[in-house]
A and B are shown apart, each in its own frame.
Chain A
Amino acid sequence: MKSNFWNRLRTIAIFSVLVLALALAPTFAQDTTLPRNETVYFNGQQWGAVVGWNPYSSNNNNAMAINQQDNARVLMFETPYLYNMLDGQVYGLLADGPYSWNEARTELTFSIKAAATWSDGTAVTAEDVAYTWATHVQYSTPTGAANTPYIADIIAVDAQTVTIQAVLNDEGAAVNPLIVQAYVSSNYVLQKAWTETLEARAGGDSTAFLADTAEDVVYSGPYGPYFWDDSKVILVRNDSYWGQDASMWGSLPVPRYLAHNIFQDNAAGTTALRAGEVDVSQQFNSNVQDLWLEDGLPISTYLPEAPYGIGASLPTAFFNLTGSSYGLDNVAVRQAISMAVDYDAIIANAMTNQSATFDQVPRSLMNPTPGEQALYDQSAVSDLQFAGNDVAGANALLDEAGIVDTDGDGIREIDGQNLSYVATCPNGWSDWQAAIEVVAAAGADIGIEITTNYPEWSVYQTVVTVSDAPLPEGYDIFMMWSDGAGPTQPWSRIRHLLSSEFVGMSSNWNGNWGGYVNPEVDALINQIPQETDPAALNAIYTELVRIYLTDVPSFTLMYRPQNFHTVNESVWTNFPYDGDGTEPPVPPLNLMDGWSVAGLYNLELVNP
């Protein structure tokens, strides 16, 4: 009897589950899976869950949608212009034709394309541009705070025409025309009507305004939010996107969905790339060449040979010049350490050769792009461009400077005090840690004691960004980043590496964290934004490189790409590569930053 009851119950349960499954399956089946032939998968952009979609805020952790920078991310929100790091030019996106300066270079004017519309179908207007700026200023957003020293106002002259008025100096010239013109390719245009909705919701409170997750945001770009959770974020194409107008792209971007699964670390991301679950990889894949040479996978990089990508930024070791590191105020000590470092070992080990060497691209203040390399006279400074691993030269330099080991303990002294330093970078930043180990090893070769220490980033950042006091013990030589490629480069990178204007800041997220002060350098940096004569600019840049390589307040350890860009062509092909014939050339920035978004319109299916 009991057995019969359980058998009957089991039969009913199985039958019920089957009926439920059959009922549910057709209802939801169409939305369960993204069609592979319509979806491009990414990795290396989004770490952790998306927090919000508020383009006024910097706290969205929404890498696919929001990134206002030199090469702004323009999948969802759009800038007036797109910067192309390969040719250094800007191309109109929301803007119609090139921008123009007035004769005094105090006002920059451009027009908005007549075809440009928002995702709600209304037109993008000059008033939107002006209101976006006014909102940034009113709510002290990061964009507003960063640009108010340089931009006085942005005005809608008429429905299509925008004028940016620069802040003027005592001579009546723009304080910084470079930053004014960079604004148009770095910052989004946002809809006035939606901004007013957001303002009403926040009730005038700037914290609430910036904390709003803005899931109702209106956008002008080709993609909008589709789905996001702790595991992934998916954007879907807006098939009414204005850019299919002949005045812009003339068509919609090829993929319907852009998806980014959230991986916990690079290893998981690389595994997915190998498995064909990632099409475009913006992460460091160690020994990337093995993926095609050893494993025979249809994976490639922008350049077929090392360094595989276009170096754009210069991860740099800074010397502590704030007075708390004994002996580092001596130029010979700084020169000797930087000469003795084996940079080839750093590039081979830390970057698995995904960086040009300093023999291939001699060190300066420029990144390896041809445009920046042409900006200074290399022959004038070639005798200063050390390539590293010059232990004999470093020892000779120190001996000549009278910095010798007098007590026989193997460590050189100045005035009887040993030269002993700590080199540091954040814990877990494995490529930086590998580089710092090589720096420490160089010390042993030249009689300078260099030990290593790796604090957590949460601690490290709070220490090195305090520039109004001497750095504490343990931060004698420390790594930080430098600017990549952009419309204000290399001026902005040089400023961030050398300008003393950041010394004295209580929270310095700009640069010159070592506290280098040189009035001559400051004067040269201040000249550049006003200078339009290429020959004069070349002379200034060359002089800055000469001073930098002579004073060595910091030293570049490797070249790093703006973005890593590795593609798996199992499903999609025709990704940008060096010499692909595109004109203007599409840069390897993962089909989403600046002009690289043009690559989305060139993609083809391997099996249509």
Chain B
Amino acid sequence: MKKYRNYFVNKLGWFLVTLVAAFVLNFILPRLMPGDPVAAIVARLAQGQSNATGVQAVYEQYTELFGTNKPMWEQFIIYVRNVFRGDFGYSISQYPRTVADVISSSLWWTVALQFPAIIVGWILGNTLGALAAYLKGNFDRILLPISIFLSNVPAFGMAVVLLVIFAVNMDIFPTSGGYGHDMIPNPSLEFVWSVIVHYQLPFWSIVIITIGGQAIGMRSMAIYELNADYVKYARFLGIKDRKIIGYVFRNAMLPQITGLALSIGTMISGALVAEIIFSYPGLGTTILSAVLGGDYPLISATTLIITIMVLVAFFALEIFYGLIDPRIRAAQSD
């Protein structure tokens, strides 16, 4: 237990150091990008104005509001103070919307799309990969090339293929949006059904690609494990196949779980391709336009959320590994 406590404290320390470093970088890096985001607001206000003094006054008003006229260190102190109060300030590109409002209106669409897609893709991919390794023969011969093909199809390619086949040509699913183009959100079955129908193509465009990559990874790991010495030894001992397979897939699963944690940690960055191709609401396009427009507050807030989610996912994973795998706990606490 003492070893495990050391392991836990060690991991927690590194977690905090990484968090602080990432927090600082999240603040600094967007501000090192070329371009002046406040100029974009002034652009909207100043078009057609031939009064240079007026334009300059407007510019100064907004640089003061966003604090971009202050030294970087001063901006950082203000940023830290506000973040600890839960205030990420105004979005520059969507001013006068607050960052919190921008994120909260898109976040749930992204989570609702990404989380189930990642989980379903992961489960299906790993199951198929494991079966391919175990069953071999025709199942493996068919599954492997399909998986390689799927994992190499660009995300936008898969999305466009699904769109053209199932929405444009067959007219089974809608072409765009998060719910009916003629609907208003409300707690009715009709609306829920509309959301479910609109969900299908973006969802499967992510799942199908995820399946390919996961299946290949799981198949390779499972084949490696199936040929490991402990499996042969277990067979010599006469242990039943079902029991052996259980050991094999638990061991093969470890790196796959790491991949799953990373996927969940970064899911907030959005399914950019699916959002664009299907005009699906979400954070992906919001973050993209924030980056292109140099929207510092929005970039910093979203990257901070992503950072924290990745760190928490990995921290939980490390702790979980430490619990289930004594080898890791022993190695790390030495």
Interface residues of A (CB under 8 A from B): 21, 24-25, 27-29, 31-34, 36, 39, 41, 48-49, 51-52, 57-59, 61, 140, 142, 145-146, 148-149, 206-207, 210-213, 227, 229-232, 234, 259, 261-265, 267-268, 271-272, 274-275, 277, 455-459, 461-462, 465, 501-502, 504-510
B52 near A505 with CB under 8 A, answer yes
CA A33 – CA B182 in complex, angstroms? 5
Residues of B within 8 A of A (CB): 34-37, 39-52, 54-59, 61, 65, 94-97, 105-106, 109, 163, 167-168, 175-191, 275-279, 281, 285, 289, 292-294
Contact (Cβ within 8 A) A459 B35: yes
Given contacts A261-B181, A459-B35, A509-B48, A48 and B188 within 8 Å (CB-CB): no
- With a cutoff of 8 Å between Cβ atoms, the chain B residues found around residue A28 in the complex are 186-188, 191
In the A-B complex, the 8 residue pairs with the closest CB atoms: A211-B96, A145-B54, A28-B188, A458-B35, A459-B35, A509-B46, A268-B279, A505-B52
B46, A271: Cβ atoms under 8 Å?
no
Nearest-neighbour CB distance to chain A for B285, whole angstroms, equals 6
Please indicate the chain B residues that have their CB under 8 angstroms from the CB of A61 in the complex: 94
Which single member of B34, B56, B163, B178 contacts A271 (CB below 8 Å)?
B163
Q: How far is the CB of A274 from chain B (nearest CB, A)?
A: 8
A-B contact pairs, 19 of them (CB 8 A): A32-B188, A33-B190, A51-B97, A58-B45, A140-B57, A148-B51, A206-B61, A212-B96, A230-B105, A230-B109, A261-B279, A264-B275, A265-B279, A271-B167, A272-B175, A275-B175, A455-B34, A506-B56, A510-B48
Determine the distance from Cα of A521 to Cα of B277 in the docked complex, in whole angstroms. 48
Known: A457-B292, A506-B56, A509-B46. A59 touches B95 (CB 8 A): yes
- Decide if B59 touches A507 in the complex (CB within 8 Å): yes
**Given A25-B188, A58-B44, A268-B277, 20 other A-B contacts at CB below 8 A?**
A25-B190, A33-B180, A33-B183, A34-B182, A52-B96, A59-B41, A142-B47, A146-B48, A211-B95, A211-B96, A229-B105, A261-B176, A268-B276, A268-B279, A457-B292, A457-B293, A458-B293, A502-B50, A506-B56, A509-B42
The reply to whether A275 and B168 form a contact with Cβ atoms under 8 Å apart is yes
The smallest beta-carbon distance between B35 and chain A, in angstroms, is 4
Whether the Cβ atoms of B37 and A227 lie closer than 8 Å is: no
From B34, which residue of chain A is reached at the shortest CB distance? A459
What residues on B are CB-neighbors of A211 within 8 Å? 95-96
Q: Shortest CB–CB separation between residue A334 and chain B, in angstroms?
A: 26
Q: Which of B56, B188, B276 has the most CB of A within 10 A?
A: B188
A24 to B106, alpha carbons, bound, how many Å? 26
Give CA–CA (A48, B43) in the complex, Å: 18
What separation, in Å, do the CA atoms of A458 and B290 have in the docked complex? 10
- Minimum C-beta distance from B189 to chain A (A): 5
Asked if A49 and B279 sit within 8 Å, CB to CB, the answer is no
Interfacial chain B residues near A51, Cβ < 8 Å: 94-97
Asked if A456 and B35 sit within 8 Å, CB to CB, the answer is yes
Contacts of B189 in A (CB 8 A): 21, 24-25
Q: Which residues of A contact B49 (CB under 8 A)?
A: 142, 145-146, 509-510
Known: A145-B54, A268-B175, A507-B59. A31 touches B184 (CB 8 A): yes
Looking at the assembled complex, report how far the CB atom of B126 sits from the nearest CB atom of chain A, in whole angstroms. Answer: 27
A263 touches B52 (CB 8 A): no
Q: How far is the CA of A510 from the CA of B47 in the complex (A)?
A: 6
User: B293: which A residues are within 8 A, CB to CB?
Assistant: 457-458
Check A507 against B187 for contact (C-beta < 8 Å).
Answer: no
Q: Which residue of A lies closest to B280 (CB)?
A: A264
Other-chain residue from B35, B39, B177, B275 in contact with A261 (beta carbon distance below 8 A): B177
Residues of B within 8 A of A140 (CB): 54, 57-58
User: Is B182's CB under 8 angstroms from A262's CB?
Assistant: no
Determine whether the beta carbon of A465 is less than 8 Å from that of B168: no
Collect the chain B residues with CB atoms within 8 Å of residue A149's CB.
50-51
CB distance from A75 to the nearest CB of B (A): 19
In the complex, which residues of chain A have a beta carbon less than 8 angstroms from the beta carbon of B51?
145-146, 148-149
Q: Which residue of chain B has the shortest Cβ distance to A210 in the bound complex?
A: B96
Residues of chain B contacted by A458 (CB below 8 angstroms): 35-37, 40, 292-294
A25-B188, A142-B46, A261-B176 given; A207·B61 CB < 8 A: yes
Indicate whether A268 sits within 8 Å of B176 (C-beta atoms), given known contacts A21-B189, A146-B48, A507-B59.
Answer: yes
Nearest CB to that of B62 among chain A residues?
A: A207
Is B175 a contact of A277 with CB atoms below 8 Å?
Answer: yes
Residue contact B168 to A461, C-beta cutoff 8 Å: no
Complex contact B176–A230 (CB within 8 A): no
